[in-house]
């Protein structure tokens, strides 16, 4: 397939700027692949589609408060530092993006507070830098959490507000590392989880730390030539065991979000079972693709020509996916990170 196949018109007013409250009252469009049917539900109706023994796989990656605002030493020039990922824990070395980049050179120090600063030690791209945070800063993740700002996606045209710290984080978030939320998981509430567990559904975690690559546009018409950014993932042994037991007993595996899907599909056996693993994945899923472990998919409505939309089309089928998107726009579904959800059976 070609990049242009995934182009559609997304009006600005269809992009959600805030989530619905409570989260599980978002709309849920249910696509049945076998019947080629589409029905409209609420996300809380997810309980109608699961049964005892089924497994729900979630991404427990936590969004870092990745936007830091500081001042350059001597000149006091205002600099934004967007932290991407930790490279060396012992030496507090991180990959970051700086803005304005023209003012930031190797050797510069940027001060955020009296107790937290970083020094630029390398240039990686026109805006990218490698920095070393001061050794006496303590836990850098905790320092970032305290003074940083929520990294809302660029298509949400507003500044973050304090409530975004909670809203742009799933209830499963435990492990720091993402700069964007695994948004399909945003719809879950503690009350809904309790109902699912009461039915006998098991909820198990994977990790995929989402990087800025999730927003990076595909720039080649031939999709086979696109290369995804590498992102760190983990499939714990306990998660793999639960999934494989369910598969052997003919239960369904509901995967929450494209990030959890990519983590699972990056580590499977030849027989189609999950395999415990960790490392880096640049797996790009687009039609046609034979999903090994993912049996049902929960996802949001994604941007035109995005790799996320391509994964959904690979799972649901291209024509069926685009039919659903056309209906979603007609029926005022809310799109992108803070938007509504889709369940593909």
Residue 216: predicted pLDDT? 85
pLDDT at 74: 85
CATH number of 67-147: 2.40.10.240
* pLDDT score recorded for residue 233: 97
Positions in the chain whose pLDDT score sits under 70:
none
Tell me phi and psi for residue 192, to 5 degrees. Answer: -65, -40
Residue 321, pLDDT score:
98
Domain boundaries, the chain: 3-63+165-344, 67-147
What's the rounded Cα separation, in Å, for the pair 175 and 207? 8
pLDDT of residue 138: 87
**What is the rounded CA–CA span in Å between residue 311 and residue 262?**
9
Same fold, 3-63+165-344 and 67-147: no
Supply the pTM of this predicted model.
Answer: 0.94
CATH assignment of 3-63+165-344?
A: 3.40.1780.10
End-to-end CA distance of the chain: 23
Tell me: the pLDDT tens digits for 170-227? 999 999 999 999 999 999 999 999 999 999 999 999 999 999 888 889 999 999 999 9
């Amino acid at each position: 397939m070609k990049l242009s196949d995934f182009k559609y018109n997304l009006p600005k007013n269809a992009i959600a700027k805030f989530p619905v409250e409570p989260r599980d009252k978002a709309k849920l469009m249910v696509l049945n692949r076998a019947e080629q049917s589409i029905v409209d539900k609420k996300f809380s109706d997810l309980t109608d589609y699961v049964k005892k023994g089924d497994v729900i796989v979630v991404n427990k990656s936590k969004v870092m408060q990745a936007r830091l605002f500081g001042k350059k030493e001597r000149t006091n020039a205002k600099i934004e530092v967007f932290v991407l990922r930790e490279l060396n824990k012992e030496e507090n070395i991180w990959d970051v993006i700086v803005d304005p980049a023209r003012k930031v050179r190797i050797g510069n120090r940027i001060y955020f507070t009296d107790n937290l600063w970083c020094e630029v030690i390398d240039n990686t791209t026109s805006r990218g830098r490698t920095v070393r945070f001061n050794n006496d800063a303590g836990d850098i993740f905790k320092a970032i959490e305290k003074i940083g700002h929520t990294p809302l996606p660029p298509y949400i045209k507003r500044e973050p507000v304090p409530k975004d710290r909670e809203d742009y984080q799933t209830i499963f978030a435990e492990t720091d590392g993402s700069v964007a939320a695994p948004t399909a998981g945003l719809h879950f509430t503690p009350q809904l989880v309790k109902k699912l567990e009461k039915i006998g559904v098991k909820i198990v975690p994977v990790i995929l730390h989402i990087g800025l690559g999730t927003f990076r546009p595909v720039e080649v018409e031939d999709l086979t030539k696109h290369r995804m950014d590498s992102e760190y993932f983990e499939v714990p042994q306990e998660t793999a065991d639960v999934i494989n037991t369910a598969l052997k007993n003919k239960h369904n595996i509901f995967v929450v979000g494209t990030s959890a899907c990519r983590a699972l599909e990056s580590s499977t056996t030849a027989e189609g079972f999950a395999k415990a693993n960790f490392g880096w994945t640049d797996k790009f899923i687009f039609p046609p693709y034979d999903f090994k472990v993912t049996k049902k998919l929960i996802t949001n409505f994604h941007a035109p020509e995005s790799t996320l939309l391509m994964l959904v089309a690979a799972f649901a089928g291209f024509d069926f996916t685009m039919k659903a998107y056309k209906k979603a726009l007609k029926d005022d579904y809310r799109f992108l990170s803070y938007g509504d959800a889709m369940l593909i059976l």
